[in-house]
Amino acid sequence: MKLINSSFRRHKNRGIVVDGWKRAWATALLVLIGGLTACSGGTPLSGTSDTTAEVSGETSEEPVPADLPPGFFLSGEFVELRPYDVNDPNVKWIKPCTEIPEEVLGGTGLDLEFSVDDGFADMWTCSAEVEGLDNWGTSISITTGPTPVSQFVDAGLAVDGISSTLVPQAVAHQIFGGGEALCSVSVDTARGYFSISALDYDETKPFLPKCELAKAQFESIYSQLRGKQ
C-alpha cells in the first residue's frame, strides 16, 4: 500500500489564514466527535466505489505473522481491532501525533504543529492541508479517542458505497453536524476509536471522493503500522 501524495503547504501570502483555519477545524472536529454519547459496537459497511486517489511512496516490507489478528503496532505494542473495554478505567487512548512514527505522519502530510492533544473529552487529532486537490482548503486528519464507531452508525451517519477490503471492520461515515464537508473512515480498537478524515468546505466538490481519500489514507497508515513490529 502506498501513501497519498500529500503535504503541508505554507502559502507565502496567506500562511496565517491557513494556520488559523487548520487549528480551528482540528478543534471543531474533536468537539463534533466527542459530543456523541458513548455506547458500544460497530458495523462494517459494504459496497464499492469507482473513484480513486493518487498515491505515492513505499510501505514497510517487514513480514507479518499469518496468525496475527486484525490490528497494528503502536509504541512497540500490538493494538487489536475490537471495541475497547468500557469498564476499564485505565484504557490508554491512542495519541496519534506522538505514537505514530514520524515517517508515517510525514508521508501523509501531517504537520505536528497542528495537533490538538487532550483538547476535548480525551480526544486527539493532528491535521494538515492536502496537496494536489485543487483547493488549499482541503485537509486530512487522524483522530482518536473514546467514541465507539457504532455511534455514527446508530445516528444514521454511515456512508453507503465505501468499504475497505483491507480492513473490513472499518466504517465510512459523516460527522454529526459536519454535513458533506467531511467524510471519515474509522475503526474500533482496544485503545479506542481510530479515524482518518478528509474535509473540504467547497460545496462544488462531490462528497464521495472525500470518502475515497479518507479510505486510501486509512488503508495506507494501517498497512504501514501493521508491519512495524
CA separation for the pair 20, 203 (Å, rounded): 21
Note the pLDDT tens digit of each residue in 175-199. Answer: 877 788 899 999 999 999 999 999 8
| Alpha-carbon separation of residue 198 from 66, 178, 211 (angstroms) | 32, 11, 7
At which residue does the C-alpha cell 504501514 appear?
Answer: 224
The answer for residues whose C-beta is within 8 angstroms of residue 21's C-beta and 6 or more apart is 137
Coil, strand or helix at 194? strand
Predicted confidence pLDDT, tens digits, the chain (229 residues) = 333 433 333 333 333 334 444 444 554 555 555 544 333 333 333 333 333 334 433 444 456 666 899 999 999 999 999 999 999 999 999 998 889 988 887 766 665 555 665 556 688 888 776 655 555 567 888 999 999 999 999 999 999 999 999 999 999 999 877 788 899 999 999 999 999 999 887 878 889 999 999 999 899 899 999 987 6
Using alpha carbons, select from 214, 148, 163 the residue that is nearest to residue 45.
Answer: 163
**pLDDT at position 132, please?**
53
Using alpha carbons, select from 177, 193, 186, 194 the residue that is nearest to residue 211.
Answer: 186
CA separation for the pair 104, 197 (Å, rounded): 16
Instruction: Return the domain boundaries, the chain.
Output: 42-57+68-227
At which residue does the C-alpha cell 504543529 appear?
Answer: 113
CA separation for the pair 137, 182 (Å, rounded): 12
Instruction: Compute CA 1 distance to the chain's CA centroid, rounded to the nearest angstrom.
Output: 16
At which residue does the C-alpha cell 481510530 appear?
Answer: 194
pTM for the structure as a whole? 0.73
Using alpha carbons, select from 95, 81, 74, 101 the residue that is nearest to residue 168.
Answer: 81
Give the DSSP per-residue string, 6-53. Answer: ------TTTHHHHHHHHHHHHHHHHHHHHTSPP---------------
**pLDDT at position 141, please?**
87
**pLDDT at position 122, please?**
80
B/e letters for 28-62, b = 16+ CB within 10 Å, e = fewer, are bbbebbbebeeeeebebbeeebebebeeebebbee
Tell me which amino acid residue 87 is.
N
**pLDDT at position 54, please?**
42
Coil, strand or helix at 140? strand
